[in-house]
């Protein structure tokens, strides 16, 4: 039976922890809001990009010089480049472990291929380093403030690798933000680029392809646009992962705060019971002492 003082000490310590988790939850909520604002701000560009690309795709059907563009050509996937976007810090529930489990499964499914990993976030780096994977690059401190600059840097590198046939496919794995409760694991291929389908109109309206004037040949426009598209995908993934991370941490910290509350309640109950027991014991001692005297 722990003594009264021990229990009191325990309660104080749990209360401290609860205060920390509560504060972390509020910080995460604020950061989540900011991350979402950033994600929202990047959306117009992404939408416009998708539109332009779809239009170019429609205009370039059966155009051989377009299908010859290196970034659109798929090859047998013998060497795969993976980009894993994790968080830098822990205490975010199953955020990183779910992600890494998914990536591990992917790697096992592609046993025949040679796999190299580029990590964004400390957790992914630690994981792949410890297991002696071929880590081509690591970016720490990047997810907290995702910058387009970094996305461009990584995009440049990947495109160079792909063009030189040093890798045959590039996949990116991350958590996407769906809602606060459930993050969404996503693993998608970013190279070779899969051209989006031309926008399909509603049923009886046949798609009206505008007759665009192209100031530059279509393949030239695509050659300049596709790298942007890849960069944007990476940037967007970083933003999504950042939102998802804060959401996951917020939920984890909320649960932790609630659990701490439960623990405190149990301990308090226990403490009162112990105190009551000691008082009862003392009364019995006094009474029996008095009885012995008489």
Site residues (vs another protein, CB under 8 A): 38, 41-42, 44-45, 48-49, 51-52, 55-56, 148, 151, 210-216, 220-221, 224-225, 228, 231-232, 235
Give me the least distance between CB of 36 and another protein, in Å please: 14
Identify the helix (H) or strand (E) that includes residue 115.
Answer: strand 114-120
Nearer to another protein, 221 or 256 (CB): 221
Nearer to another protein, 23 or 41 (CB): 41
Give me the least distance between CB of 221 and another protein, in Å please: 6
Nearer to another protein, 9 or 51 (CB): 51
Alpha carbon distance 181, 207 (integer Å): 39
In order of 35, 56, 172, 217, 240, the CA distances from 103 in angstroms are 24, 33, 10, 40, 17
Nearer to another protein, 6 or 166 (CB): 166
Question: If phi over 0 gives left and psi between -120 and 50 gives alpha, with beta otherwise, what is residue 141?
Answer: left
**Structure token pair of residue 180:** 């606060």
Alpha carbon distance 23, 10 (integer Å): 20
Give me the least distance between CB of 195 and another protein, in Å please: 15
Residue showing tokens 């029996």 = 288
Nearer to another protein, 174 or 257 (CB): 174
Report the 10 Å Cβ neighbour count for 209.
12
Instruction: Decide: helix, strand or coil at residue 164.
Output: coil
Give me the least distance between CB of 234 and another protein, in Å please: 10
**Structure token pair of residue 130:** 């410890």
Give me the least distance between CB of 29 and another protein, in Å please: 23
**Structure token pair of residue 24:** 């972390």
The total number of residues shown for the chain amounts to 294
Could you give the angle at which helices 95-109 and 122-130 cross, rounded to 10 degrees? 40
Nearer to another protein, 41 or 277 (CB): 41
Give me the least distance between CB of 224 and another protein, in Å please: 5
Give me the least distance between CB of 145 and another protein, in Å please: 11
Nearer to another protein, 236 or 249 (CB): 236
User: 117 pairs with which residues across the strands?
Assistant: 82, 135
Alpha carbon distance 156, 199 (integer Å): 28
Instruction: Decide: helix, strand or coil at residue 94.
Output: coil
């Amino acid at each position: 039976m722990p003594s009264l003082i021990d229990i009191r000490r325990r309660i104080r310590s749990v209360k401290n922890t609860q205060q920390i988790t509560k504060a972390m939850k509020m910080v995460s909520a604020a950061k989540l809001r900011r991350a979402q604002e950033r994600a929202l701000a990047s959306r117009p560009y992404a939408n416009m990009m998708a539109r332009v690309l779809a239009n170019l795709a429609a205009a370039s059907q059966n155009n051989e010089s377009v299908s010859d563009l290196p970034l659109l050509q798929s090859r047998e996937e013998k060497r795969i480049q993976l980009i894993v976007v994790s968080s830098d810090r822990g205490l975010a529930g199953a955020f990183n472990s779910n992600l890494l489990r998914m990536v591990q499964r992917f790697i096992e499914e592609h046993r025949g291929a040679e796999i190299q990993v580029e990590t964004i976030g400390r957790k992914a780096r630690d994981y792949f380093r410890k297991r002696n994977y071929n880590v081509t690059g690591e970016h720490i401190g990047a997810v907290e403030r995702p910058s387009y600059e970094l996305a461009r840097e990584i995009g440049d590198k990947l495109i160079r690798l792909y063009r030189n046939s040093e890798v045959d496919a590039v996949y990116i794995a991350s958590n996407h933000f769906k809602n606060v409760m459930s993050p969404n694991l996503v693993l998608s291929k970013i190279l070779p680029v899969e051209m989006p389908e031309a926008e399909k109109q509603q049923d009886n309206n046949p798609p009206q392809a505008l007759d665009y004037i192209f100031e530059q040949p279509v393949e030239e426009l695509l050659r300049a646009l596709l790298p942007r598209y890849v960069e944007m995908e990476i940037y967007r993934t970083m933003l999504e992962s950042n939102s998802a991370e804060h959401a996951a941490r917020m939920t984890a910290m909320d649960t932790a705060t609630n659990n701490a509350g439960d623990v405190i309640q149990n301990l308090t109950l226990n403490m009162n019971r112990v105190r009551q027991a000691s008082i009862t014991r003392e009364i019995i001692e006094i009474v029996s002492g008095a009885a012995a005297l008489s």
